[in-house]
Amino acid sequence: MISRYARKEAAAIWDAAMKYKIWFEIEAHAATKMAELGVIPTEAAETLWAKGKDAQFDADRIDEIERTVKHDVIAFLTHVSEIVGPEARFLHQGMTSSDVLDTCFAVQLQKSADLLIEDVDFVLAALKKRAMEHKLTPTVGRSHGIHAEPVTFGLKLAGYYAEFTRARKRLVVAREEISTCAISGAVGTFANVSPEVEAYVAEKMGLEIEPVSTQVIPRDRHAAFFAALGVVASSVERLATEIRHLQRTEVLEVEEFFSAGQKGSSAMPHKRNPVLTENLTGLARLVRSAVVPAMENVALWHERDISHSSVERGIAPDATIHLDFALRRLANVVDNLLIYPENMQKNIDRLGGLVHSQRVMLAMTQKGMSREDSYAAVQRNAMKVWRGEGNFLDFLAADEDVSKFFTRSQLEPFFNLDYHTKHVDTIFARVFG
């Protein structure tokens, strides 16, 4: 985890403090149910909660114990007994370490998913705000990096809004995928612990029961979770790439916010670089790098092996923390984006009207010209404009084949931007309701 790309809310989920708090809750809820089932004394369970609920577990002390007992859960339980006293021996009865570890992992991923969903909401809010502002701001649509036909800047943002709505849905599904609890013992048979304990802990921790666990929760769930993060990261990359393109010196239709006194480059005082969105591009690659190892983790041997563990110690905090950071940064970039409608207009005009070529062509076919001839007529005039020889409307008006059908004043309306924005309301209604 790279600390400069970590918000403290996201990083805290993976802190030792949070982990031990969750471990305690799992063990203590299990104890409550075991007491109810008569497996352990009721007063023991009550004492555990009374003394442990608000306890601060000491990670250093637990590490110290672990160096002796060489087992993380045993070290934790030993430390709990230092805090709550001898009743601690009633904890963990018939349970296996993975019951605690995997259920805790589910809680951590769920909390991370909650943050990510909230983050996407910030991105959505920023996109909506700016989309509404620029609903009808004309800008050129580009295919292949080449001017195509006019759109509006609001439409662009509406498209991203729709994409992040899907991202949100994927995160909700991903959250469900990993929100399960397993307390089923060494090979998942509940030999030494009742399924009722699992059901109780699941409910208390906000999880579903895992239908079949085998000491561990099956890792296809986690693969699906990290795959979803990879898709969301790819959407971050797309919007980041759009902004980077639009900020290029030659395009300059938008800029990342640049504060007074900020330095774009230590060497070149004139620079204003889209460094935030470049950073988001890199973070997207990092988040995506969790996907393949998470999939490779699925095929554990038999009831379980522990090869997934080191992988998850890396990718789980890294991917969730960095995606959280990326989404927040993205929301800020969009919210504060400097948008230059005049430059957009200048760019539309740059091709001397060529962006209307399709409309002229279609108009001629409607007059009866074949599509091939019409295409040829429009293209030969377009290429002159492309070579910088003049204006498209002028060339068309002067073209013999074109002027057969249209006078200059009849051609003029084909260069009207409104033609292209007539369905903006329809699209906005689809996206924003």
Element (H, E) at 402: helix 400-403
Q: Which of residues 68-107 bind a copy of itself (CB under 8 A)?
A: 69-71, 73-74, 89, 94, 96-97
Q: Could you say whether residue 318 binds a copy of itself (CB under 8 A)? A: yes
Q: Min. distance of Cβ 247 from a copy of itself in angstroms? A: 7
Name the DSSP class of 276: H
At residue 254, the 3 state secondary structure works out as strand
Between the two ends of the chain, the Cα-to-Cα distance in Å is 39
Instruction: Give the C-alpha separation, 124 to 128, whole Å.
Output: 6
Closer residue to a copy of itself (CB): 113 or 158? 158
Per the annotation, the verdict on 29 as an active-site residue is no
Q: For residue 54, give the DSSP letter.
A: T
Could you tell me the sign of the dihedral formed by the alpha carbons of 98, 222, 209, 317, in that order?
positive
Report, in Å, the least distance between residue 302 CB and a copy of itself. 4
Q: Which one of 143, 144, 266, 302 is the catalytic residue?
A: 144
The CA-based angle 231-146-329, given to 5 degrees, is: 35
Strands 138-143 and 146-152 come out as antiparallel
Residue of 103, 110, 297, 320 interacting with a copy of itself (CB under 8 A) = 297
**Contact between 41 and a copy of itself (CB under 8 A)?**
no
Question: Which of 17, 37, 50, 212: binder of a copy of itself (CB under 8 A)?
Answer: 212
| Type of residue found at 244 | R
d(CA 166, CA 186): 39
Q: Considering only 10-18, 103-111, 181-189, 404-412, which stretch makes contact with a copy of itself by CB under 8 A?
A: 181-189
Shortest separation between residue 308's beta carbon and a copy of itself, angstroms: 6
Q: Crossing angle for the helix pair 307-335 and 275-288, nearest 10 degrees?
A: 160
- What is the SS3 string spanning 161-218? HHHHHHHHHHHHHHHHHHCEECCCCCCCCCCCCCHHHHHHHHHHHCCEECCCCECECC
Q: Which pairs from 185-192 meet CB under 8 Å and 24+ separation? A: 185/94, 185/95, 185/96, 185/99, 185/215, 186/96, 186/215, 187/214, 187/215, 187/303, 188/212, 188/213, 188/214, 188/215, 188/303, 191/94, 192/93, 192/94, 192/95
Cβ pair 272, 255 in contact under 8 A? yes
Among 54, 67, 86, 250, binds a copy of itself (CB under 8 A): 250
- Using rule CB under 8 A, residue 61 touches a copy of itself: no
Tell the smallest beta-carbon distance from residue 419 to a copy of itself (Å).
6
Task: Pick from 44, 62, 151, 334 the residue near a copy of itself by CB under 8 A.
Answer: 151
- Is there binding between residue 305 and a copy of itself (CB under 8 A)? yes
Please indicate whether residue 265 is annotated as part of the active site.
Answer: yes
What track of x and - describes contact with a copy of itself for positions 261 through 290 (by CB under 8 A)? Answer: -xxxxxxxxxxxxxx--xx-xxxxxx-xxx
Nearer to a copy of itself, 115 or 157 (CB): 157
Least distance from a copy of itself to the Cβ atom of residue 51, Å:
20
Told to check if 324 binds a copy of itself by CB under 8 A, we report: no
Q: Indicate the SS3 state at residue 255.
A: strand
| Exposure of 14 in the CB half-sphere (CA atoms within 13 A) | 21
Closest CB to a copy of itself among 51 and 142?
142
What is the nearest approach in angstroms of a copy of itself to the Cβ of residue 404?
Answer: 17
Nearest to a copy of itself of 53, 310 (CB atom): 310
Identify the active-site residue in 265, 307, 310, 370: 265
- Interface positions, 349-408, toward a copy of itself (CB under 8 A): 350-351, 354-355, 357-359, 361-362, 371, 375, 378-379, 382-383, 385-386, 392
**Does residue 330 belong to the site contacting a copy of itself (CB under 8 A)?**
no
Active site residue ranges: 144, 265
